[in-house]
Copies of this chain bind each other. A is one copy, B any other.
Amino acid sequence: MKSNPIRLTGTSYAVLALFDQCGGEATSYDLKQALDSSIQNFWPVPHTTAYEEPARLAKAGYLTARQEEGGRRKRVYALTEAGREALREWAADPSASAPQLKEEAVLKVFAGGDPGPLLAARIAWHRGKLEEFGEYLDAVRGVEGMEGQERALRVGTGYHQKMIELLESLAAEVERAEV
């Protein structure tokens, strides 16, 4: 089945995991939605990934593709046993690549930008995310089959809170140094 062997990246497994959580079957659009509302906070990917990666995975036999005939000829992908197995194996391995944070606002501060506006904007942004998550969480809380999403959202919430704390202490430190 692996007509075209490929290298599986973290993103590949992220996609496989989302299929798994969707019951093994989904369209790229479903995937895109799931991406935005669950893993964006610890594994961000651009939306094109939701279209490109399943195609890659299907070529290698980890998914099957079935094209619908309707107007928007959607493609429905489904996990194969190979896909499920690859995912399980990867998740069972307790090693993981080093975490990475990319924070342009902090980079700008480092580069000499005025910390005040930069950090304030960023803090506001995180606050907005928290609010957004509150709504998502309300929609998802207790719903059958949404436990994965819910947990992901709680992780996200914690992440944004910690970032706010970090940025605030950074802002305070900078301000102290100014004076």
- A residues with a Cβ closer than 8 A to B are 10, 13-14, 16-17, 20, 38-39, 41-44, 87-88, 90-108, 110-114, 117-118, 121-122, 125, 148, 151-152, 154-155, 158-159, 162-163, 165-166, 169-170, 173
Q: Known contacts A92-B114, A162-B162; can you find 9 more A-B pairs with CB under 8 A?
A: A10-B107, A42-B101, A42-B106, A43-B104, A44-B100, A90-B111, A91-B112, A154-B173, A158-B166
Chain A interface helix/strand/loop/mixed: helix
Decide if B96 touches A121 in the complex (CB within 8 Å).
yes
Give the CA-CA distance A169 to B38 in the complex, in Å: 19
Decide if A111 touches B17 in the complex (CB within 8 Å).
yes
Decide if B104 touches A118 in the complex (CB within 8 Å).
no
State how many angstroms separate the Cβ of A127 from the closest Cβ of chain B.
13
Given that A110-B17, A114-B94 are contacting pairs, would A99 and B163 also be in contact in the complex, using a CB cutoff of 8 Å? yes
Decide if A100 touches B99 in the complex (CB within 8 Å).
no
Q: Across the interface, which residues of B come within 8 angstroms of A169, CB to CB?
A: 158
